[in-house]
Amino acid sequence: MMKQGNNDGTPMPVSLSTKLNRLSEMAKQFPQLRFRTLAHLINEESLTKAFHELNNDAAAGVDSVTAQEYRNGLPENLKDLHQRLRERRYRAQPLKRVYIDKADGRKRPLAIPVLEDKIVQKAVINTLNPIYEQDFLPCSYGYRPNRNAHQAVQALQKAITLGKVSYVLEADIERYFDLIVLRHLRDFLQKRIADKDILRIIGKWLHVGVIDDDRLLRTQQGVYQGSVISPLLANIYLHEVLDYWFKHTVKPRMRGEVTLIRYADDFVICFQYRSDAQFMQKALPIRFEEFGLKLNLKKTRLISFGRFEKENSEKQNRKPNTFNFLGFTFYCSTSRKGIFTVKSKTMSTRLHRALSTIGIWCRKNRHLSLYAQWRHLVAVLTGHYNYYGIRANYRSLKKFFQGV
């Protein structure tokens, strides 16, 4: 699309940002609209933007091409990539399986795409975000533009402090990314996307397979953790399975106030009445099973929590309940004026794990210069403080600083 603007009367190209803004406006105005022409937005401009938004230090895929190598001939490389996309000669490559250590000693499998697949995936995300940001609900905070974990924590604190909350359902989805049913995911995508080229490319990424120990492994379910496009696809899936269902089916049946706060596949639901909480506790596994998902029953629990929790715990001769969300432990407290509030602190397991990791690193790197060790520890402290540096978490932060 062009607009008038040059002095000689020739049309002036419409910028990519303007086109994406129009997508957003259309998606908001027409909630049932299926977008049929999106692939033309994946052009050299959008591919260039996508390349610069990627982490240049990220691991390379099976072709071993790094961002720095690709940058050396960037205009030519992106022109060639765009040409292959236009002529439908673009071929997604298998992902590279890598394993990272988990806190419990096990390994977490990740799948790393090649750089060109990352670029195209990022460009597709930038094209689809304006549409899905009009559909996603305010309860969702993970992997969305201008939203983060701190906002989710603050929203949860506010919901409990100011709302009528007496019970909290702390939920955990078992192997969420691995259990996504691709048939359902395609159905969800097609509610908004009717562009066959975009759907075909996404299908390639979902079925391309992963190289693990020189073997090509394919799966008929799940999305690959480590793939750039996976967080958006995972959000679309849970928007349909959980968020939309909760708003339009569950909430109208509740007797009292209910609030859902979700960050990616981590979520907490707050209730005013125990009967509502018990209903949800039974309905949630049934709903999830319908779409191939499972709750981790060992980590999913219903607790009493809220402004009456201190009184209830004293009557029952027990410690006040707490719960965990996004690496923080939530507990009931009072302000200096004696007003009920909810505060958060670093989970003790996360704090101990972080200090243990630093201790191991220091022992292994004693041979480094003091300056090199100092730079590393400053980076660790900065990262820790950036995430856990929230109001009322002073004691945990001080303990971490002293431990380092």
Q: What SS3 string covers 91-134?
A: CCCCEEEEEEECCCCCEEEEEECCHHHHHHHHHHHHHHHHHHCC
Q: What pTM does this model have?
A: 0.92
CA nearest 172: which of 284, 313, 334?
284
Distance (Å) of CA 156 to CA 259, 263, 277, 326: 9, 11, 17, 11
36: which residues sit within 8 A by CB, 6+ positions away? Answer: 194, 195
Where does residue 150 fall: left (phi above 0), alpha (psi -120 to 50 degrees), or beta otherwise?
Answer: alpha
Q: Round the average pLDDT of the chain to a whole number and report it.
A: 94
Look at residue 2 in the predicted model and tell me its pLDDT: 43
Distance (Å) of CA 352 to CA 218, 223, 325, 363, 390: 38, 31, 17, 17, 18
133: which residues sit within 8 A by CB, 6+ positions away? Answer: 24, 27, 144, 145
Residue pair 347/327 in contact (Cβ under 8 Å)? The answer is yes
- pLDDT tens, 301-326? 999 999 998 888 988 999 999 999 99
Look at residue 103 in the predicted model and tell me its pLDDT: 63
Q: Which of 14-18, 168-172, 328-332 shows the lowest per-residue confidence on average (mean pLDDT)?
A: 14-18
Q: Which of 102-106, 112-116, 152-156, 210-214 shows the lowest per-residue confidence on average (mean pLDDT)?
A: 102-106
Q: No. of H helices and E strands in the chain?
A: 16, 13
Residue pair 124/42 in contact (Cβ under 8 Å)? The answer is yes
What's CA 100's distance to the chain center, in Å? 18
Look at residue 260 in the predicted model and tell me its pLDDT: 99
Confidence band of 184 (pLDDT split at 50, 70, 90): very high
Burial class (CB in 10 A: 0-12, 13-18, 19+), 8: exposed
Look at residue 8 in the predicted model and tell me its pLDDT: 57
Confidence band of 403 (pLDDT split at 50, 70, 90): confident
Confidence band of 179 (pLDDT split at 50, 70, 90): very high
Q: Which CATH number fits domain 152-176+234-346: 3.30.70.270, 3.20.20.80, 2.102.10.10, 3.40.50.360?
A: 3.30.70.270
Query: String of b and e for 102-138 (b: at least 16 CB within 10 Å)?
Result: eeeeeeeebbbbbbbbbbbbbbbbbbbbbbbbbbbee
Confidence band of 121 (pLDDT split at 50, 70, 90): very high
Share of the chain above pLDDT 70, in %: 96
151: which residues sit within 8 A by CB, 6+ positions away? Answer: 141
DSSP 331-387: EEEE-TTS-EEEEEEE-HHHHHHHHHHHHHHHHHTTTS-HHHHHHHHHHHHHHHHHH
Region(s) of the chain under CATH 3.30.70.270: 152-176+234-346
Residue 306 and residue 322: Cα distance in Å, rounded? 10
Length of the chain in terms of residues written: 404
Residue 373 and residue 114: Cα distance in Å, rounded? 33
Strand segments (E) across 246-351: 258-263, 266-271, 301-304, 323-325, 328-334, 340-346
Distance, first Cα to last Cα, the chain: 57
- pLDDT tens, 242-260? 999 999 999 999 999 999 9
**Beta strands 167-172 and 11-13, pairing class:** unpaired
Confidence band of 6 (pLDDT split at 50, 70, 90): low
Q: What is the mean predicted confidence (pLDDT) over 48-53? A: 98
Confidence band of 1 (pLDDT split at 50, 70, 90): very low
Look at residue 185 in the predicted model and tell me its pLDDT: 98
Q: Over 60: is that where the pLDDT of 4 sits?
A: no
Amino acid making up residue 158: K
Q: Over 90: is that where the pLDDT of 5 sits?
A: no
